[in-house]
A = this chain, B = another copy of it.
Amino acid sequence: MLLRIDHVGIACHDLEAKIKLFSELFELEVVAREVNEEQGVKEAMLRVSGDSYIQLLEPLSPDSPVGKFLAKRGEGVHHVAFGVGDVSDTMEQIATKGVRLLDEKPRHGSMGSSIAFLHPKDVGGMLTELVQGAKPAV
């Protein structure tokens, strides 16, 4: 069901400062930067290896989900994302196991992916994201 650990999402107050920190400390390449208005974040993806990334997230406003997370918990790991083949199929399989989905249907994630979140209370306290990567252009 899970193909890989796709990324670890880290909430931060200052995206540019954290891009500098992580890219210099671990010698990582920034492969994408994006503003996701729907999720209320600006973000960057730093490649660790293959299709595994560190995702840095700065909230667009204090009342966004990541803004509220920062106010409550401070900077640190916000969620963990796992690659799947087909996100809709996986959502269906998971729902039948009694785990609550935070999304009714897949939404837009980083780098053209389709994503869905699972309720952290049903997954050991970990906010969990499913990621179906963008289809390569033909």
Contact = CB atoms under 8 A, between A and B. Distances in A.
Nearest to A12: B124
A48 interface: yes
A6 B114 CA distance: 24
Interface residues of A, number: 38
A4 B49 CA distance: 5
A18 interface: yes
Interface in A75-90: 75-77, 80, 82
Interface stretch (A24-32, A37-45, A101-109): A24-32
A8 B81 CA distance: 11
A8 B3 CA distance: 15
Interface of A: 1-5, 7-8, 10-12, 18, 21-22, 24-28, 48-50, 52, 56, 73-77, 80, 82, 94, 97, 99, 120, 123-126
